Amino acid sequence: MKIRVLSLILTIALALSMVAMFSSCGKTNYAENNTKIKIGLSGPLTGGAAMYGIAVENSAKLAVEEINAKGGLNGILFELAMLDDKHEANNIATNYASLYEGGMQVSLGTVTTKPGLEFKGYANADKVFFLTPSATGDDIPEFSNGYQMCFADSDQGTASAGVFNAEYQGKKVGVFFKADDDYSVGIKNNFVAALDKSFGEVKLASFTEATASSFTQQVSDLKDCDIIFMPIYYDPAALFMKQGNGIVKADAIYYGCDGLDGIDAVDGFDINSITQGVSYLSHFNSNTTEGAAKEYIDAYRAKFGEDAPLNQFGAAAYDCVYAIYDAMKFAIEKNNAEIPANIAPDALCDILTAVFDSKDFEFRGITGAPEEDGRSTITWTDANGNATNGHVNKTPVSYTVKSVTSAQ
């Protein structure tokens, strides 16, 4: 009797394989039935990093809806598909394949770096253009189809060290970083390497996911420093500042990178309750009161409410969608490209890389240092007009969230 079961199972398996074979054989363009241009991405929507992924999802959705409301790309609308990767690289094979076979034509890559290191290879094999809002790893734009909207880790570390070398000479420097996070370690290494030798020994203190609940000891370790560099995200930074209140030097300065954006909006943390100063070098300030960034923040708050996560991740995603849209318009108008709604991803990739690598293409975004019109200039070419291999070229801004308040 078991023979019957066995043959049944085998027949079913065979039939399934055949179906799989015939349904996909010879099909190269999964997007051929698309009626809208499909933008796909993967990011953490659950788990500890969910607030970054959710901010990206909301912002990208906002941008897509705005573009569609304005009639899209000469009548062709956009749609967004986002899958959850829980900030884990081993979910990317599934997510990428599902997005690609679901008709993704252009992508925002991944929200975080580690999954992004997987994503870029698959996207390169299929030639899918991606512009990541916030995967900051130096290696993310390794292949010709990958671009970043955020600053790469090495740029941030070097740029911050430049600020220190220029403004904080002679102070005792401490670094507080997350030892199991490539973003944090990458920035820290570049920062320490680029820092003037005249600063002397840099005091290091680190934490990991496993020791992130309390920073009592790290506060003790860094309490004598005049300036503490924090290449970490805002939530652990807020905890450090809170626990360091009264122990760290009252006139010390906390200096961070783009991850620190949002520090003044953490629930339950009143930034004015600490005496120390807080500054960061970033491409976005989520508390800005002027320019296009303000319009984005208002629209975001109106649509998703006061409790929705809002940070530089989201702002960059908003810019990403508009940059892709602008690049498509540029290609149609200047390069006479044709972009139908069911364009194959590889064809679209060729069109978009040509635009992004061209020195004539200049995107006016909400991240970066705003100019007269409230928007910043963002390009993917350097000052000489040469392509930067996907690394973004925009001006960072040093924001002072609060300056040192005199001790009571």
What amino acid occupies position 308? A
Closer residue to another protein in complex, CB, 167/224: 224
Closer residue to another protein in complex, CB, 137/259: 137
Q: Residue 201 gets which letter from DSSP?
A: P
Closer residue to another protein in complex, CB, 24/400: 24
We find the least distance from the C-beta atom of residue 401 to another protein, in angstroms, to be 16
Q: How far apart are CA 85 and CA 362, in angstroms?
A: 32
Closer residue to another protein in complex, CB, 180/371: 180
The residues, any chain, with a CB within 8 Å of residue 214's CB and separated by 6 or more, are 239, 243
We find the least distance from the C-beta atom of residue 326 to another protein, in angstroms, to be 24
DSSP collapsed to 3 states, 60-93: HHHHHHHHHHCCCECCECEEEEEEECCCCHHHHH
We find the least distance from the C-beta atom of residue 345 to another protein, in angstroms, to be 13
Closer residue to another protein in complex, CB, 133/365: 133
We find the least distance from the C-beta atom of residue 49 to another protein, in angstroms, to be 9
Q: How far apart are CA 286 and CA 397, in angstroms?
A: 13
CA distances to 109, 153, 256, 280 from 277, in Å: 35, 24, 11, 10
We find the least distance from the C-beta atom of residue 84 to another protein, in angstroms, to be 4
Closer residue to another protein in complex, CB, 64/337: 64
Number of helices and strands in the chain (H, E): 11, 13
CA distances to 172, 182, 253, 317, 323 from 365, in Å: 37, 27, 30, 11, 8
Sheet of 203-207: strand order equals: 203-207, 173-178, 227-230, 253-256, 277-282, 397-402
What is the H or E stretch that residue 311 is in?
A: none
We find the least distance from the C-beta atom of residue 363 to another protein, in angstroms, to be 26
We find the least distance from the C-beta atom of residue 1 to another protein, in angstroms, to be 5
What amino acid occupies position 61? K
Show the tokens assigned to 81.
Answer: 């598909």
We find the least distance from the C-beta atom of residue 250 to another protein, in angstroms, to be 8
End-to-end CA distance of the chain: 87
Strands (E), 142-235: 146-148, 173-178, 203-207, 227-230
Closer residue to another protein in complex, CB, 13/369: 13
